[in-house]
Amino acid sequence: MRILVCPPRHFAVDYVINPWMEGQIGRVDRALAERQWNELVAGFARHATIEQVDPRPGSPDMCFTANAGLVAHGRVVPARFRMPERAAEEPPFADWFAQAGIELVALPGEDPFEGEGDALFQPGEPLLWAGYGVRTALETHVTLGETFGVDVVSLRLVDPRFYHLDTCFAPLPEGRLLYYPAAFDERSQRDIARRIPAERRLAVEDRDAIGFACNVLRIGQHLFLNQASDPLRAALAAWGFETHVHPVGEFLKAGGGVKCLSLLLDQPPFDPIVPSPPSAIRSTRVELEGHLLDTGGLNRALDVVTEAGGSFRVTRLSLAERKDQESRVELHVVAPTAERLDGVVSELMAVGARTPHAERAARVEVVTQVGVAPEGFYSTTIYPTEIRLGARWAPVARQRMDAVVVVGREGETPRCTLIRDLVPGDRVVCGVEGVRVRFPEAKRSGDFGFMNASVSSERRVESTVKEIAWEMRRIRDRGGRIAVVAGPVVVHTGGGPHLVRLIESGYVQALLTGNALPVHDIEHDLFGTSLGVDLARGKPVHEGHRNHLIAINRVRAAGGIRPAVESGVIRGGIMHACVRKRVPFVLAGSIRDDGPLPDTIMDLERAQSAYARAIEGVDMILMLSSMLHAIGTGNMTPAGVRMICVDISPAVVTKLADRGSLESIGVVTDVGLFLNLLAREIAGADD
């Protein structure tokens, strides 16, 4: 076994290219570093043959030979450093490989690759673990697999402190592994677990990880590392390894440990394979078009790619020069597996990107179990969606988010369906092929000064109310529909009479609420109190807490709200107005409900469906101080419906206004005040 090292004669921290180097410029004790290095290399030399490359002045990091390239079977894929600070190391390393008779296999393109620092063989198996996300580009993993005849598992590094794979991952013989899971994203952790069973995985604790305990050089059963806690040492001993702790604190200042200081020139033998397909890595072309700069659309798209575990290259870029022009960007997007590419593409589609995936026919799988979707289901957004069936594009009916798309028989319209409503035989769209999302072009701010997605603060409430009133009148006058989602605060804050006015003037076509609003509305009609508080005087009344129970009891006696109105038990208020004006109401119950009223639907699946039916085809939804019912409604509302959310708590308003659709507007204010202003505005215009 041969190991390449490089004496730290010019070692220093002269620049900062990883978090460990911060604050360490000029602080390396070179003499101490050389002593640590000599001791370490003497340790290696007892079990392996040491080869040396001469250090280059001006390349202080060259002692970290792990980054020189990846070597196996007499071939090397040399590094292409991501950081310009280290680029000058490439020629001396390449020269050394050439004079040692190692065949150089250059990487195509310009993507960075930082050698064994980011690529580690599973000893004795045709399997290479390769890191990406910080230094090495995912694209380079394809070449590694082809050059060495191995399967490559691409692992995404997400913690900047563990910027090279070898800082947090050490494959060991017999399919074992020492690693620090938190350095990887969720899906990479799952990919690791899929390949290595739990009893062969040793996860180190934070203190060992930070002490570079995973940065291990293994020679036979000997493990060389900077630090190992007692439990770690014991666990490794139980696996039959002897740990040799060699403190290399001076090198830690540069972000490197024992493994970084060494490069394996021989790998334990394995039988190369011709991986089929040659690599799990998949790529595709994606196009973005529109007002990408002024709306941040480009940023959003690029972030989506990275966060979903992909990597991108901008292959075409034509930027708008004026505000009224559109930009066009073409990206080459790469992901470690077909499955992950699907994930990246569907997230890109949700921010308006176009992909050639869409041009293929939709992939459909059949449901076999009631209320269970095929694993690969496409999940919907709020935006108008089309499905490619044969040669035609069919629009999806009942658009809503978090549903799946069921395509019916020939000629039937595909429709959004909740997973729980699936029945065996339903054909569900899977993957992202043949799915096209019509993203609103108007996803640019400042285009319409009028009512764009924003949260209004107190100062602007009055002008916002004016705009809302204007739009409500237009909707009513053209025969459109407005739904109101309201919470009991409407009654408590004295907004009841104003809402009644809106209902009576024909501005409300459906009322969606829970049990509490009708209870307090009816209590107020019967006793003048809301939860026992006299609304006119703002004072609790004697024995008032019974009032809402009496109200519930009387409605129960009458057999429901409608009969209670018709028989004269209820003589005014919101529910009275709904019954009189034939405005349908849906009451969705919850665990905290008193009573409930006979009209309250306590079966939540039924309640959700009733809500969904009630908002079908509405033009606007007014959400008045009801977090749960408003968010529930938002979840079933397609893009294009104007959503106005009024709440005293900015958190609630932001949550709803934030769903990314242009049509939602938030108003942070007292809902009683809001309704007062709105009713006045509308009455004023109506007379």
Q: Indicate the residue among 102 and 170 with the shorter CB distance to ligand ARG.
A: 170
| Minimum distance from residue 166 beta carbon to ligand ARG (Å) | 5
Q: Indicate the residue among 161 and 363 with the shorter CB distance to ligand ARG.
A: 161
Give residues 243-262 in contact with ligand ARG (rule: CB under 6 A): 254-256, 260
Q: Indicate the residue among 117 and 352 with the shorter CB distance to ligand ARG.
A: 117
Give residues 60-79 in contact with ligand ARG (rule: CB under 6 A): 61, 64, 66-67
Q: Indicate the residue among 117 and 431 with the shorter CB distance to ligand ARG.
A: 117
| Minimum distance from residue 81 beta carbon to ligand ARG (Å) | 8
| Minimum distance from residue 317 beta carbon to ligand ARG (Å) | 30
Listing from the earlier edge strand, what are the strands of the sheet with 585-587?
Answer: 455-456, 664-668, 642-647, 620-624, 482-486, 510-513, 585-587
Q: Which DSSP string corresponds to 305-366?
A: HHHTT-EEEEEEEE--SSTTS-EEEEEEEEESSHHHHHHHHHHHHHTT-B-GGGGSPPEEEE
| Minimum distance from residue 96 beta carbon to ligand ARG (Å) | 17
Give residues 311-370 in contact with ligand ARG (rule: CB under 6 A): none
Q: Please, what's the b/e burial string for 135-145 (b: 16 or more CB within 10 A of its CB; e: otherwise)?
A: bbbbbbbbbbb
Angle at 92 between CA 90 and CA 94, to 5 degrees: 65
Q: Is 164 a catalytic residue?
A: yes
Give whole-number Cα distances, 458 to 205, 244, 455, 472, 656, in Å: 50, 67, 10, 21, 18
Closest residue to ligand ARG, Cβ-based?
117
Residue 632 has φ and ψ, to the nearest 5°, of -55, -40
Q: DSSP code of 190?
A: H
> Applying CB under 6 A, which part among 59-67, 222-230, 498-506, 517-525 lies near ligand ARG?
59-67
| Minimum distance from residue 112 beta carbon to ligand ARG (Å) | 11
| Minimum distance from residue 228 beta carbon to ligand ARG (Å) | 18
Distance in angstroms (rounded) separating the CA atoms of residues 644 and 634: 10
In three state form, how does the secondary structure of 228-263 look?
A: CCHHHHHHHHHCCCEEEECCCHHHHCCCCCCHHHCE
Q: What is the CA radius of gyration of the chain?
A: 33
Number of residues forming the site for ligand ARG (CB under 6 A)? 15
| Minimum distance from residue 665 beta carbon to ligand ARG (Å) | 48
Q: Indicate the residue among 156 and 576 with the shorter CB distance to ligand ARG.
A: 156
Give residues 621-650 in contact with ligand ARG (rule: CB under 6 A): none
| Minimum distance from residue 212 beta carbon to ligand ARG (Å) | 9
Q: Indicate the residue among 251 and 377 with the shorter CB distance to ligand ARG.
A: 251
Question: What's the number of CA atoms in the CB half-sphere (13 Å) around residue 217?
Answer: 33
Catalytic residue among 168, 260, 416, 430: 260
| The one among 6, 17, 144, 671 contacting ligand ARG by CB under 6 A | 17
- Residues facing residue 372 across a β-bridge: 369
Burial class, 591, CB count within 10 angstroms (exposed 0-12 / middle 13-18 / buried 19+): exposed
Spell out, one character per residue from 164 to 203, where the chain touches ligand ARG: x when CB under 6 A holds, - when not. x-xx------------------------------------
Distance in angstroms (rounded) separating the CA atoms of residues 667 and 657: 9
Dihedral of the alpha carbons of 287, 291, 295, 296, in degrees to the nearest 10: 30
Q: Indicate the residue among 61 and 342 with the shorter CB distance to ligand ARG.
A: 61
Q: Is 578 a catalytic residue?
A: no
Give residues 81-140 in contact with ligand ARG (rule: CB under 6 A): 86, 117
CB atoms < 10 A from the CB of 407, how many?
20
Q: Which residue has tokens 């690759």?
A: 113
Q: Indicate the residue among 61 and 599 with the shorter CB distance to ligand ARG.
A: 61
Catalytic residue among 6, 141, 164, 168: 164
Give residues 541-580 in contact with ligand ARG (rule: CB under 6 A): none
Q: Which of 298, 271, 667 is nearest to 467 (CA)?
A: 667
Burial class, 305, CB count within 10 angstroms (exposed 0-12 / middle 13-18 / buried 19+): buried
Applying CB under 6 A, the residues found at the interface with ligand ARG are: 17-18, 61, 64, 66-67, 86, 117, 164, 166-167, 254-256, 260
Residues carrying an active site annotation: 164, 260
